Amino acid sequence: MKTGLIEKVVGKHIVSPKGFKAAGIHCGVKHKKKDLALLVSDVPASVAGVFTTNAIKAAPVILTKETIYDSRKLQAVILNSGNANACTGKKGLADARIMQQLVADKLGMAANTVGVCSTGVIGVHLPMEPITKGIQEIHVQDDLESGIDFAQALLTTDTVMKNTTYTVQIDGETVTIAGVAKGSGMIEPNMATMLGLITTDAAIDSDTLQALLAACTNVTFNAITVDGDTSTNDTVLALANGLAGNQLLTPKHADWDAFKEAFLLVSQDLAKMIAKDGEGATKLIETTVVGAVTNVEAIKIAKTVVGSPLVKTAVFGNDANWGRILAAVGYSGCTIDPTNVFIKIGDEAVVEAGEPLPFSETYLLDYLKQSEIKIFVDLHVGEGQGKAWGCDLTYDYVQINATYRS
C-alpha cells in the first residue's frame, strides 16, 4: 500500500489501534446510563495533554496534568460522567487520587501512569462507594462493543456518541489513529466542555506528540463554540503506544506530514461533532475566513461569527441577516478594512466591498433550513486563513440548561 496514504475507517472506535482495550459500565453515579469508562494500553504509552484555561480547574484536571508532566507516560485512563469533581476542594483532589490508585492497583501498574477525567455536575463530591465498586468490576476488551460502551459512558447532555478513526501508511506499516469525545454545552475554549481521548499505535515520543496535539488543538478544539462558557474540566489526552511497528515519528520523518494530517483529521472530526451536537442545536455552522492579517486572527474572527448569539439565532430562524455576520467581524478586535469585506452564505454572495449585494431570499431561506450552514468571509487585508465551528441557538438550549441539576 502506498506510503503516506490516509483512509477514514467507518465503524471503528477508540480500541481500533493495536494494543488498546476499553470498557464502559453503569456504576451508580447516574441513575441508569453508563457512567464509568476505562481505557488501557498493553504497554506504557507516550502521552500528550491539553487542558482547560479556566482558572478554576477540576480536581482530575489538576491531578492528570501533574501526572503526565511527571511521568511522560500513561498506560490507563479512568473516566466518570455525571459528576465533574470540580469545586470540591481538598476532598475532591483526594478522591481523584483514590480513583487513580484503585486503577493502578487493579491493573498492577504505577499510579503515575494512570490519568483521571470527570465530567458532569459541578460542586458536588464524588459518590466514591459506587465508583470504587465500579472500578473493581469494570473489565476492558478490544472489541467494537467495548469501544461503544466506552464512548457511551462519557456522555452527559450529548445526544450522540462522537467517534472517528483513520489509518495512515508509515514505513510500510498501517498506523491507526482513533478518537472519542464528549461535549455538548459549556463549549467555549480554549477548549470546550469536553473530554477527548485520541489513541494511536504509532511510535512517537511524548514531546513530539505534545507539540502535535497542541498545534492541532489550536485549529480544531480551540476553534469551536456553542455558548461562550468555558468548563472547569476540559481535557484532551493523546496516547501513542508504538505497537504498529513504524520507525519513530519526528518532523524529519519522510511520512511525518501524512501522520500529522491524519491526526489533524481526527481532531477536526471530533471538534465538528461537538459543535454540531451543541445543546439543543439543530444546525452546524462553519465559518471560513480568508484574507486576514494572520491565521490566528482569521480563526478569531471565524469564532466570533459562529459564537455570536445574534448570528446563531438568525441561523436557527432561517433568516439571512448578514448584517449580524458583518457586525461580528467588526467587533472581533482584529484588523479589518470595512470597505474590503466580502461575505457569502452558502453559494450566495451578500456583501462585497463592505456594501450589500442583491441576493435571492428564496435560495437563502431554503439553504438555511439545511443541517449544515457555511459562511465565507474574505477580508482582503492579508494572507491569513482559518475556520471555526458552532451551532444555532434554540429554545431547547435554554430548557436543557435551566433544568440541568434536576
Of 52, 67, 113, 193, which is the active-site residue? Answer: 193
What type of residue sits at position 207? Answer: D
Return d(Cα 403, Cα 406) in angstroms, integer: 5
What type of residue sits at position 293? Answer: V
For 224, the grid coordinates are 469551536
Q: For residue 268, which of 220, 318, 223 has the smallest C-alpha distance?
A: 220
Contact 166, 177 (CB under 8 A): yes
* Angle at CA of residue 228, ends 223 and 230, nearest 5°: 85
Q: How many CB atoms lie within 10 A of CB 7?
A: 13
List residues bridging with 76 in a β-sheet. 40, 114
Q: For residue 22, which of 37, 7, 43 has the smallest C-alpha distance?
A: 37
Contact 125, 94 (CB under 8 A): no
Contact 244, 17 (CB under 8 A): yes
Return d(Cα 86, Cα 378) in angstroms, integer: 41
Q: Give Cα 87 distance to the centre of its chain.
A: 23
Return d(Cα 12, Cα 66) in angstroms, integer: 31
Return d(Cα 195, Cα 272) in angstroms, integer: 14
Q: How many CB atoms lie within 10 A of CB 401?
A: 16
Question: 403: Cβ–Cβ under 8 A, 6 or more apart, which residues?
Answer: none
Q: Compute the half-sphere exposure of residue 205: CA atoms within 13 Å on the CB side of its CA.
A: 6
Is 193 an active-site residue? yes
Return d(Cα 174, Cα 147) in angstroms, integer: 20
Contact 28, 127 (CB under 8 A): yes
Active site residues: 193
